[in-house]
Amino acid sequence: MKAILKADQLTAGYGHKVIIDQQTVEIPEGCVTGLIGPNGCGKSTLLNTLNGFEAPMAGNVELDGKQMSQYSAKQRAQEIAVLPQRTVIPEGISVFELVSYGRYCRQRGMHRLSKADRQAVEDAIKAVHLVDKHDELLTSLSGGQQQRALIAMTLAQNSRILMLDEPTTYLDLTNQLEILDLLHELNATFQKTVIIVLHDLNEAARYCDHLICMIHGRVAAVGSPDDVLTETTLANIFKVSGDITYDNDCPQITNCHPLPVAQP
């Protein structure tokens, strides 16, 4: 499968601190790719380098065969839409206004909404099933609805790639599943390449076509959920013991226990 995003011999971190050291990662086009791994393993750092927010300390990030540093901020936003973890929900802003922010990267001059912009905003609101909340204030919506409105904002960017950093973490189970179903639907209908950081391995197995598992800033396992979610991965990377059972051919972890931490 063709790689739309590629990190070659990537070294990345904050300040002088190296978090990811010389790793090579490829993101297949048109798939839902999940980034998994324990806390502090470098998932977010990888995401923030792949999307061009942070420049790599060494190595290359290529989008569509072109160096990321050659894209301007707006050009990059036309290709990659990003929803970071824990976005601030501003006061006094309606769903429509929030979603219209997504059009910024497609506008010129004084940034007035054109007819095409309005249409894209309406389409995005429809895609996340929020048409009836169109004019309501964001602050009056539930957490799950707010998250859907934010996703609609990223959809309005009309980018080929959508990246989300733990989009389900602060939601209850119903809303988590709704958001993941929505992402799956967007991938299927718009052939969007989705890259998503997830904590829940069972959700990752169910909703992703491709998994990248990281530990200590290294890529430890790559492949389909079947290849990645094995009892060995669980033990070596997540330090848990568990059984892999298959639910409609999808690997799911059951009977999970933390392994005793080996004393050095």
Does residue 244 contact residue 252 with C-beta atoms inside 8 Å?
Answer: yes
CB of 145 to another protein, least distance (A): 17
In this chain, which of 5, 77, 219, 237 binds another protein, going by CB under 8 A?
77
Of the listed pieces 70-78, 178-186, 189-197, 230-238, which binds another protein according to CB under 8 A?
Answer: 70-78
Q: For residues 174, 179, 180 and 184, what is the CA-based torsion angle, rounded to 10 degrees?
A: 130
Report whether 7 contacts 22 (CB < 8 A): no
Alpha carbons 94 and 78: distance in angstroms, whole number: 23
At closest approach, how far in Å is the CB of 117 from another protein?
A: 12
Q: What is the DSSP string of 194-257?
A: EEEE-S-HHHHHHH-SEEEEEETTEEEEEE-HHHH--HHHHHHTS-EEEEEEEETTEEEEEEEE
- d(CA 236, CA 258) in angstroms, rounded, equals 11
Q: Which residue lies nearer to another protein by CB, 53 or 190?
A: 53
Of 105, 124, 171, 221, which lies in the binding site for another protein, with binding defined by CB under 8 A?
105
Residue 28 as a binder of another protein (CB under 8 A): the answer is no
- Establish if 97 lies at the interface with another protein (CB under 8 A): yes
CB 96 within 8 A of CB 121: yes
The answer to whether the CB of 28 falls within 8 A of the CB of 210 is yes
End-to-end CA distance of the chain: 42
Q: Report if residue 248 touches another protein, rule: CB under 8 A.
A: no
Of the candidates 25, 32, 46, 81, which one interacts with another protein according to CB under 8 A? 81
**Exactly one of 102, 217, 225, 251 binds another protein (CB under 8 A); which one?**
102
Q: Is 134 in the site for another protein (CB under 8 A)?
A: no
The reply on whether position 123 binds another protein by CB under 8 A is no
Confirm or reject binding of residue 257 to another protein (CB under 8 A).
no
Which residue's CB is nearer to another protein, number 10 or number 162? 162
Among 14, 181, 191, 223, binds another protein (CB under 8 A): 14
User: How far apart, in whole angstroms, are the C-alpha atoms of residue 207 and residue 93?
Assistant: 32
Which two tokens mark 53? 């927010």
Residues near another protein, by CB under 8 A: 14-15, 17, 51, 53, 72-74, 76-78, 80-84, 86-88, 90-93, 97, 101-102, 104-105, 107, 110-111, 150, 153-154, 157
